[in-house]
């Protein structure tokens, strides 16, 4: 009775398999979406396409809560793992809501008897190249999905990327599978963060649709073991998408980003084809965005600047000051690069990376203290509470207090205290 009172947050219906295309009507919070995947014509597709839609739309359903209804057949092990998956996401993101999954049929996993292959996700970036080179002998095929990092409207740029990735695959003696979908830019990005929620499940959804062909899929890690922050692809959630004999392997977390750059940078195919930038432009890598600057800074710190031909411009270290770090992962990348830069006597580079890191830390500091203002009432204990908060942060950031950015931050903090006290009095 209780479930009958719940609203349907997400509903998957009209799942269709037609030649090389799989589609469904997806209603999210009463908004209709037509979702489709297009595969190469010779690609065999799964008997249970509903599994793919379950995986990618579960984190979105948790945004709205209620019932997640799927008009299709799903595999039992995948269904059972959704409970653990929801437990994890609710701890990471408390604003989410647990959902009740209703499917037409929950069946025993498919037991494919034929020999299947190993595939690795491949965008031509640092993580993807690292996993490919490291596991070259184990990997049979590569996978690239158009619609995840390049919009479907950017056909000219996609064709350029496709040509380069095909060249890499040929050199490594691999087949590369190109899949096309409107899932990312046109659908999921409307409802949830790609990085925090969707990109891991999105990749898993594609592979689940090809599970008849593969029993292992390498998913290159974006972070190392020291910074396993909540992300859409993560070592503690990726295995939860295993079903029908397909297993997902979170690979490469033993190496930091700069260690990966060092490892791959001597490979000729990397030097000719590395792409870290999602901007569509004739330069392949724009040399201006955070990902480009991050990689160029790593190469400079390693004393390998200029060897990657897809970065046509030389790094201007002053541009690092203008790149705002958005999360702990990006901060950790900058920190690791700064350590290597100091080791290799790249002092000017280290200085600007330090400024970038301190700017990020000071913004976090200001945000945290700023949030405390809303919980403190200006009673007789106000001055003691405010002093305690400020002294704690100053004490724990002593070595950064002389930094220009933090000086500005503390000025803002003290000014707000002053204005609040005046207002209350």
pLDDT for the residue numbered 8: 87
User: What letter would DSSP give residue 13?
Assistant: E
Residue 318 burial (10 A CB sphere; 0-12, 13-18, 19+) = exposed
Q: Which pTM was predicted?
A: 0.86
Beta strand segments in 43-191, E: 66-75, 99-107, 117-121, 141-146, 175-181
Beta strand segments in 122-252, E: 141-146, 175-181, 214-220, 247-251
Virtual torsion, Cα 197, 201, 206, 210, nearest 10 deg: 180
pLDDT for the residue numbered 411: 58
SS3 at position 425: coil
The residue ranges of every structural domain in the chain are 3-107, 117-258, 259-424
User: What letter would DSSP give residue 316?
Assistant: -
Could you read off the pLDDT tens digit of each residue along the chain, which spans 425 residues? 444 457 989 999 999 998 899 999 999 999 999 999 999 998 999 999 999 999 999 999 999 999 999 999 999 999 999 999 999 999 999 999 999 999 999 999 998 888 899 999 999 999 999 999 999 999 999 999 999 999 999 999 999 999 999 999 999 999 999 999 999 999 999 999 998 999 999 999 999 999 999 999 999 999 999 888 899 999 999 999 999 999 999 999 999 999 999 999 999 999 999 999 977 666 789 998 889 999 999 999 999 999 999 998 999 999 998 888 888 888 999 999 999 999 999 999 999 999 898 888 877 776 766 666 555 444 444 444 444 555 444 445 444 433 444 455 555 655 665 565 555 44
The domain made up of 117-258 has a fold known as: Rossmann fold (3.40.50)
CA angle 384, 390, 395 (to 5 degrees): 120
């Amino acid at each position: 009775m209780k479930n009958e009172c719940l609203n349907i947050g997400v509903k998957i219906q009209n799942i269709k398999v037609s030649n090389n295309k799989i589609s469904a009507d997806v209603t999210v919070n009463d908004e209709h979406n037509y979702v489709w995947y297009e595969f190469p014509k010779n690609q065999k597709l799964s008997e249970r396409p509903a599994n793919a839609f379950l995986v990618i739309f579960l984190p979105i359903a948790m945004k709205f809560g209620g019932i997640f209804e799927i008009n299709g057949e799903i595999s039992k092990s995948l269904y059972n793992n959704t409970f653990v998956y929801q437990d994890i996401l609710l701890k990471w993101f408390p604003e989410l809501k647990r959902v009740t999954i209703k499917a037409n049929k929950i069946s025993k996993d498919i037991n494919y008897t034929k020999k299947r292959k190993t595939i690795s996700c491949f965008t031509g970036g640092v993580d993807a190249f690292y996993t490919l080179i490291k596991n070259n002998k184990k990997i049979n095929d590569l996978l690239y999905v158009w619609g995840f990092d390049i919009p479907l409207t950017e056909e000219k740029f996609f064709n350029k990327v496709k040509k380069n990735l095909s060249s890499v695959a040929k050199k490594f003696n691999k087949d590369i599978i190109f899949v096309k979908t409107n899932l990312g830019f046109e659908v999921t990005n409307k409802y949830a963060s790609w990085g925090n929620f969707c990109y891991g499940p999105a990749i898993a959804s594609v592979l689940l649709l090809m599970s008849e062909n593969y029993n292992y899929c390498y998913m290159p890690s974006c972070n190392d073991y020291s910074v396993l922050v909540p992300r859409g692809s993560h070592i503690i959630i990726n295995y939860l998408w295993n079903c029908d004999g397909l297993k997902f392997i979170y690979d490469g977390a033993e190496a930091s980003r700069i260690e990966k750059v060092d490892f791959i940078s001597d490979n000729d195919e990397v030097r000719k084809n590395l792409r870290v930038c999602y901007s569509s432009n004739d330069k392949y890598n724009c040399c201006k965005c955070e990902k480009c600057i991050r990689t160029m800074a790593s190469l400079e710190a390693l004393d390998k600047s200029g060897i990657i031909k897809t970065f046509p411009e030389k790094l201007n270290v002053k541009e690092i000051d203008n790149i705002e770090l958005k999360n702990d992962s990006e901060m950790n990348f900058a920190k690791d690069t700064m350590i290597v830069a100091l080791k290799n006597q790249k002092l000017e580079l280290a200085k600007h990376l330090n400024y970038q890191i301190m700017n990020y830390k000071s913004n976090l500091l200001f945000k945290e203290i700023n949030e405390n203002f809303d919980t403190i009432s200006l009673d007789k204990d106000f001055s003691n509470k405010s002093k305690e908060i400020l002294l704690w942060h100053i004490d724990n950031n002593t070595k950064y207090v002389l930094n220009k950015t933090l000086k500005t931050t503390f000025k803002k903090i003290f000014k707000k205290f002053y204005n609040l006290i005046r207002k209350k009095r």
